[in-house]
Structure 1
Amino acid sequence: MSAPPSRAARPARATGTALRAGCGRGAIELRQSFTNGGDLVSHLLWPVLMLITLFFLREREFGSSGLALGTLALPGILGMNAAMGMVSMSQILTAEREDGTLLRARATPNGMRSYLTGKVIAVAGGLVADLAILLVPAMFLIDGLAAARPGAWLTLAWVLVLGLVATLPIGAVLGSLFPSARSQGLIQLPVMGMIAISGIFYPVTALPGWLQAVAQVTPVYWLGLGMRSALLPGTAAEVEIGDSWRHWETAGVLGAWAVLGLLVAPVVLRRMARRESGSSVAERRERALRRIG
């Protein structure tokens, strides 16, 4: 007979079980989002609208840079959509808080860790699919991208993975701070603020120095910078801070946000779930039914 696991090994085994369960749950939810008609339309609508925009910008040059507006806009569009995953995460969390899903997750051992893992995988997977639906046709539509450069796709991959893991737990924390889905307007304000100063749509060097410092604290700035470094030619780095793409700094800051988010988000969700009860879920459901009626 094998010896029972030690006390030190039990938490690690429980965490591993929770992560595996979360991965399985996330994969199921992701597959369901592509077999549901409404979700499928939402996956296709945004990329199609952005492709139409890029089509009209493909031959217009930006100043004397020699780069088309469509070429410069594509990394920004990709970065913005990836950053907006925070809003998607918060919307899902507040909706599932109202319908009792979080309450059921709390009743399961390590349920909140499993729940958060599943949501990160489902939302991140959907975002990656949306970005691919946009990026692949855009490669044939606009010129001037540096995607053929060795390492461009590898850079895009690690920036996107780190960026999503860094930002999605922030969305979970924001979603846990508000009691209902009706407060989503308030949740979007800090996210839109980070995007506005991130340099995704215009060079951050055009902002005052103190605002540049604030932007560099947020993960959204580094997500956008990494996207630009992967898709734009090297000469485009001249408008960036330090005339450089700063890959090491990008990896360090995004990695730090990812670790912090994955440590803090489960704690915040557990504390929020402790305040949930069957009566509070039923009360919110009753209020929702009265509003509909």
Structure 2
Amino acid sequence: MDRGRRRAGQPVARPVAGGLGAAPAVRRARAGAADHPAHLGGELPEPSEREGGGVNARTIRAGLRRGGVEYRQFLRSPKDVGVGLIGTVGIFLALAISQRGSDWPGTDTPKASIMAAGFVAFSVFSVAIMGLPMTIAADREEGALLRVRSLPGGTRAYTIGRVASALGQILTYVALMLAAALLFTETRLPETAGDWFTLVWVLVLGTLAVLPLGIALGSLMPGPRTAANLLSVPMMVLMIISGVMIPISVMPEPVQWVAQAFPLYWQGLGLRSALLPDTMLAAEIGQDWRTLETAAVLGAWAIAGMVLAPWLLRRVTRKESGSRLEARQRARAAQASY
């Protein structure tokens, strides 16, 4: 009998903290590889696609359960939380305190308040564009993607779990950043319902714009070290040119055009429109908050990412095999020996 296919009524392995049904998944993959001569290299078809499955309630529950476990592990890790506190909140506080009492020329807006809006946007951006790709690349390197593909709906549940965990981290860092800005700078929360609405929709749409991009980037990275090496410098460059620390209007025009091609600038602009007074418009491009353009650009990035990211992740997951995983592990061991 074909052991690579699930019998009718046979229970599906439940997701566990170490991966989606890690031990049963490995056994199932080995059994399937042995019984399918066409897949001797471990190239098994995706069970969810073979059975015509989709995103159902069980898949969503499994993904959310996995995401909840990973987020709790993140909160219990002093290293993970500390990196965010020092790397984002700490840098913001150091810069903000050094600029305390100084307004941006031509406005009555404190420089620290300008940076507060920018660093809130950067908190979202850094989790999605650095943290999420490194996590997915680590899962690929350790064989987690090979395990999840042996489960019906495993890839979809994995994606939901990773997104849920990243959302939890984003909420944590945004809350910490806003708390730091309110306590140590002259930043104030929105005063009108319209500004509150702007704050919420910019955060939501900005998150939707970058999370799929992070999944796509993670799908392309062979390992977490490679992801860190390739993504850290471009992310820092975008941080500098996108108005996180100083208004983009002081940049050369070609740099302004480059910055406006990416979602970080637009989310920062939207947050400034919610958190800062209109006198700050004197330092913005065109002296306008450009709300419609903000929604359009962030929406375009979100749609493009939602189309590209699932396709890339499925493609990479299909190509995962035991032989490829073993080859990567041998290469990693060889590098570590030098």
TM-score (normalised: structure 2): 0.75
The alpha carbon displacement at 1:233 in A equals 0.9
- AA aligned to 1:239 is A
Query: In the superposition, relative to structure 1, how do residues 114 and 194 fare at CA in structure 2: closer, same or farther (>3 Å)?
Result: farther
Q: Percent identity?
A: 36
What SS does the corresponding residue of 1:151 show, helix, strand or coil? Answer: helix
Structure 1 partner of 2:102: 60
Structure 2 partner of 1:105: 148
Aligned match for 2:85, one of 44, 51, 64: 44
Q: What are the equivalent positions in structure 2 for 1:54-133 lying under 5 Å apart?
A: 54-85=96-127, 86-133=129-176
Structure 2 partner of 1:22: 63
**Distance in 2 of aligned mates of 1:72 and 1:112:** 40
Structure 2 partner of 1:243: 287
Decide which moves more: 190-199 or 259-268.
Answer: 190-199
**Distance in 2 of aligned mates of 1:202 and 1:139:** 19
Query: In the superposition, relative to structure 1, how do residues 126 and 186 fare at CA in structure 2: closer, same or farther (>3 Å)?
Result: same
**Distance in 1 of aligned mates of 2:192 and 2:100:** 20
Structure 1 partner of 2:247: 203
**Distance in 1 of aligned mates of 2:235 and 2:155:** 24
Per-residue CA shift, 1:118-170, capped at 9, x if unaligned?
A: 21221121122012112113213222546334433332222112111211221
Contact 1:145 1:233 (8 Å CA) reproduced: no
The alpha carbon displacement at 1:43 in A equals 4.2
The alpha carbon displacement at 1:100 in A equals 0.6
Matched, 1:181 2:229: no
Per-residue CA shift, 1:202-243, capped at 9, x if unaligned?
A: 333334445434433321221111121121111112322332
Q: Is the radius of gyration larger for structure 1 or structure 2? A: 2
Per-residue CA shift, 1:167-200, capped at 9, x if unaligned?
A: 1221221222232223221233443444343233
What SS does the corresponding residue of 1:58 show, helix, strand or coil? Answer: coil
Structure 1 partner of 2:314: 270
TM-score (normalised: structure 1): 0.85
What SS does the corresponding residue of 2:108 show, helix, strand or coil? Answer: coil
The alpha carbon displacement at 1:107 in A equals 2.1
- AA aligned to 2:145 is L
Query: In the superposition, relative to structure 1, how do residues 198 and 58 fare at CA in structure 2: closer, same or farther (>3 Å)?
Result: same
Contact 1:61 1:67 (8 Å CA) reproduced: yes
Aligned match for 1:147, one of 187, 190, 193: 190
Query: In the superposition, relative to structure 1, how do residues 146 and 31 fare at CA in structure 2: closer, same or farther (>3 Å)?
Result: closer
Per-residue CA shift, 1:259-293, capped at 9, x if unaligned?
A: 22122101101111222111222232233344445
Query: In the superposition, relative to structure 1, how do residues 154 and 31 fare at CA in structure 2: closer, same or farther (>3 Å)?
Result: farther
- AA aligned to 1:38 is K
Query: In the superposition, relative to structure 1, how do residues 199 and 40 fare at CA in structure 2: closer, same or farther (>3 Å)?
Result: closer
Aligned match for 1:163, one of 201, 206, 211: 206
Structure 1 partner of 2:37: none
**RMSD after superposition:** 2.5
* Structure 2 alignment gaps of length 5 or more: 1-50
- AA aligned to 2:211 is L
Per-residue CA shift, 1:48-103, capped at 9, x if unaligned?
A: 45334423322223334232221121112222222112111111111111001111
Contact 1:197 1:215 (8 Å CA) reproduced: yes
- AA aligned to 1:117 is I
- AA aligned to 1:57 is Q
